[in-house]
Amino acid sequence: MQKFSLDAQAREHLERAAAGSAGRSAVTVYGDHEHTLRQTLLALTAGTSLAEHENPGEATWLVLRGRVRLTSGEDSWDGRAGDLIAIPPARHSLQAVEDAAVLLTVATHP
């Protein structure tokens, strides 16, 4: 069994994001591309975004800190700490409205 603090990971990666030129930092905390389930912690500084990209499979964002906006086509959803956002099965982007850390959970089908 493996246990670690998402709060500590969020704090560490927010510091890395602030120190880096891209304004973001990420780490896979569970699984990988060979597993059905993968969880990745992503930290973004305010104003930083993930450009529009394809849906990776069934997926959610759990907002751990800060505020984010998920956009897909004409629709957008705002999330703040504690919110779980289901990612639509379409192209989408994510923007940090303020410094934010999110947990991306993806389940791919074989």
What is the tens place of the pLDDT at every residue in 39-83?
999 999 999 999 998 887 799 999 999 999 999 999 999 999 999
pLDDT band for 110, please (50, 70, 90 cuts).
low
Tell which residue, 87, 92, 94, has the closest CA to residue 45. 94
Helix (H) or strand (E) holding 93: strand 92-96
CB 65 within 8 A of CB 100: yes
Q: What is the pTM of this model?
A: 0.91
The pLDDT value given to residue 100:
98
Report how far residue 31's alpha carbon sits from residue 21's, in angstroms, rounded to the nearest whole number.
27
Domains of the chain, start order: 6-107 (2.60.120.10)
